[in-house]
Chain A
Amino acid sequence: QKEVEQDPGPLSVPEGAIVSLNCTYSNSAFQYFMWYRQYSRKGPELLMYTYSSGNKEDGRFTAQVDKSSKYISLFIRDSQPSDSATYLCAMSSPSGGSYIPTFGRGTSLIVHP
């Protein structure tokens, strides 16, 4: 079993839909939880991060962490075609003073007009 599990999709939704992306993990030491967005033929870019449990909102995006269930989510409201990308969850714990991220496989999201 991988440390971080993520359904690769693809997930296809109509424009304006609410999107829910999820990851589960097994390492209870993870403290930072991140979502990266990767457009086709590009490198991943950090979208949001949260520390420990709770919610964090940034515009149309909400990240949610439930450490008791080892489950994290990213919600996208009013989804747009420009949101079409692969979304990778990532998690990290302190290792020698830094935080080395472990990534999920990524979920491919397609928002069609």
Chain B
Amino acid sequence: DAGVIQSPRHEVTEMGQEVTLRCKPISGHDYLFWYRQTMMRGLELLIYFNNNVPIDDSGMPEDRFSAKMPNASFSTLKIQPSEPRDSAVYFCASSTNRNTEAFFGQGTRLTVV
């Protein structure tokens, strides 16, 4: 398996634009996580899904953020409208039930100017 695949690797966008980040989890994994990493706050859990259903989105900072998982092999994180303070590295991770290890993608480095 190629691991968790995220795209794009880098995204530079202007304030106010819509940004969509994509993730393909490891096949067979039934948990999917979206994290945001910054120097100031470290790695923060934004939302996680179990069997494509959102379970906990309490970490989503604002209504500008939304996430979907239309099927077991694809998820998106959307920011609309984007703001400079959204600049961070966004990671997607997946795991199996009763498995403590989360497998991370390479991340998407988002810069909002």
Instruction: Find chain A residues with CB under 8 A from B31 CB.
Output: 98
Residues of chain B from 14 to 48 with CB closer than 8 A to chain A in the complex: 31, 33, 35, 39, 41-43, 45, 48
State whether B50 touches A101 (Cβ < 8 A).
no
State whether B101 touches A46 (Cβ < 8 A).
yes
CB distance from A57 to the nearest CB of B (A): 18
Could you show 22 A-B contacts with beta carbons less than 8 Å apart?
A8-B42, A41-B107, A42-B106, A43-B4, A43-B91, A43-B93, A43-B104, A43-B106, A43-B107, A46-B102, A49-B101, A88-B43, A97-B97, A98-B95, A100-B48, A102-B45, A103-B35, A103-B42, A103-B43, A103-B45, A105-B41, A105-B43
Instruction: Find chain B residues with CB under 8 A from A32 CB.
Output: 100
User: How many A residues are at the interface, by size bracket?
Assistant: 20 to 34
Q: How many A-B residue pairs have CB under 8 A?
A: 58
Residues of chain A from 8 to 62 with CB closer than 8 A to chain B in the complex: 8, 32, 34, 41-46, 49
List 10 other contacts, CB 8 Å, given A92-B100, A99-B98. Answer: A32-B100, A43-B105, A44-B43, A96-B55, A98-B50, A100-B56, A101-B100, A105-B41, A105-B42, A106-B43
User: How many B residues are at the interface, by size bracket?
Assistant: 20 to 34
State whether B50 touches A96 (Cβ < 8 A).
yes
Residues of chain A from 85 to 113 with CB closer than 8 A to chain B in the complex: 88, 92, 96-106
Chain A residue nearest in CB terms to B95: A98
Instruction: Find chain A residues with CB under 8 A from B41 CB.
Output: 105
State whether A98 touches B42 (Cβ < 8 A).
no
CB distance from B72 to the nearest CB of A (A): 16
